[in-house]
Amino acid sequence: MKRYAVLVPVLVLLMSCATTSQSGEEPAPASHTITIKVVNAFAPQNIMSLTADRFKEVLERKGGGRFIVQILDVERTEEKANELCSSGAAHLQFTGGYPLQVFAPEYSFFNAPYVMKDFAHFTRVWNGPLGEAARKMVAEKGNMLWIGNVYRGFRQTTANKPIYSVDEVQGLRLRLPGVQTWVTVWKAMGADPVTVPLSGLYDSLKTGKAEASEGDIPQIHSYKLYEVQKYLIITNHLVQTGGVLVNKPFYESLSEADRKAVWDAAVEAIEWATNKVMSEEGMLLMDLQKKGMQVIIPDAASFREKGKTAVEELFRTLWSVTTWEEVLSQ
């Protein structure tokens, strides 16, 4: 039976980000300042951009005059942000799951469809042995320390036609980022993926290069997809997070007190952003409806069932460090 929803309640997950800090006193004012270059991969009003802004505000306010935070005006792609932070051209990046895809692909299931049940589940696994191994690999191969994760919400689907079951995804030109595992799963569900960088998301939908997209509610809202998409389909296919990482050589070059100041400011910004999304996700959804998007509750189980074979195959091949059953059991 076809179902519409006038208002979709959003589950608020009562889970704060894990924090990590080092012992040491607050940094004392000194005769010179430390300039910290920050890069983020998202549009100005996206939650990850706001997290970067919050980090700047907190560190400069609490840093005893020791820090100047510069948010670089560069190409807003995860690829570029990752390149700059890994190389040391930027000191921190506020991004998505791209560093896992590049430097720890065996653990990229943290950022894949139908693996994590919710953010609380993600956090349990991330704080356990699998997350520890993933962070270690990123540090060794990518030259970065993973400070923490911002909850960005479940990823949903947008389209210019109503979609009630996975059968109606057949042949759908779906905009996806260049994440091969996502492409694999959506192809298994019948879509015809069109890989476009996030910076080209809006235009790909406006021009018709893609006829549908998928993304978290803050992304759909901040990129104004309500101007180019009519329907919002609640598929809940991926628990989206955003990573905050610091260049390892830069971080280790700081004094103990300065390291603590930088790390603690990032953790505070992460917790602020996570709480913001959890408290405002429902309001953003309501605003998307007010702006004309029609919300549909589909047969979400049909999507998961159709993509199951592809997910299982990825665990047998790319993600062979663990199993789907082991991840789901945590």
Q: pLDDT tens string for the chain (330 positions)?
A: 444 343 444 433 323 333 333 334 444 445 589 999 999 989 888 999 999 999 999 999 999 899 999 999 877 789 999 999 999 999 999 999 999 999 999 999 999 999 999 999 999 999 999 999 999 999 999 999 999 999 999 999 999 999 999 999 999 999 999 999 999 999 999 999 999 998 899 999 999 999 999 999 999 999 999 999 999 999 999 999 999 999 999 999 999 999 999 999 999 999 999 999 999 999 999 999 999 999 999 999 999 999 999 999 999 999 999 999 999 999
Q: Is 8 within the bounds of a domain? A: no
pLDDT at position 73, please?
84
pLDDT at position 326, please?
97
**Neighbour count for residue 311 (Cβ, 10 Å):** 21
Domain holding 70, by residue range, is: 34-329
Q: Is 163 within the bounds of a domain? A: yes
Q: Is 10 within the bounds of a domain? A: no
Nearest one of 173, 197, 201, 200 to 187, comparing CA atoms: 173
- Cα–Cα distances (Å) from 247 to 39, 68, 140, 181, 270, in that order, read 12, 17, 11, 26, 17
Q: Is 123 within the bounds of a domain? A: yes
Q: What is the tens place of the pLDDT at every residue in 281-316?
A: 999 999 999 999 999 999 999 999 999 999 999 999
Q: What is the tens place of the pLDDT at every residue in 27-38?
A: 444 558 999 999
Q: What is the CATH number of the domain that holds 300?
A: 3.40.190.170
How many structural domains does the chain have?
Answer: 1
Q: Is 9 within the bounds of a domain? A: no
CA-CA distance, 175 to 156, in Å (whole number)? Answer: 12
Q: Is 19 within the bounds of a domain? A: no
Q: Is 23 within the bounds of a domain? A: no
Q: Is 12 within the bounds of a domain? A: no
Judged by phi (left if over 0) then psi (alpha if -120 to 50, else beta), residue 49 lies in alpha
